[in-house]
Amino acid sequence: METYSFLRELADSWGLLAMFVLFLGVVAWVFRPGSRKMQDDAARSIFRNDSRPAEAAKPQAKEA
């Protein structure tokens, strides 16, 4: 068997299995108990240095 064919078979079978197990590990890590605080903190991190409140950012409608 050629080296390329062996490596190709290895990647097609065990490589796919390894990537699937890694995917399941990442999903389990994200949905593990107790990770909500860290995820909420990451979601709000882009707004930490916002200098104006959210209500002030909305344009005011002019009354006629």
Angle at the Cα of 35 (from 33 to 41), degrees rounded to 5? Answer: 155
What whole-number distance in Å separates Cα of residue 50 and Cα of residue 27? 31
pLDDT in tens, 20-61: 999 999 999 989 988 889 889 989 999 888 776 666 656 666
- Report pLDDT for 12: 87
Question: What confidence score (pLDDT) does residue 21 get?
Answer: 97
Domain boundaries, the chain: 3-42
- Give the global pTM: 0.55
Mean pLDDT (whole number) for 7-14: 88
CA–CA dist 7, 2 (Å, integer)? 9
For residue 38, give the amino acid letter.
Answer: M
Residues 6-20, mean pLDDT to the nearest whole number: 90
Q: Which amino acid is at 12?
A: D
Q: What is the pLDDT of residue 18?
A: 93
Say how far apart CA 9 and CA 62 lie, in whole Å. Answer: 69
- Cα separation, 16 vs 8, whole angstroms: 11
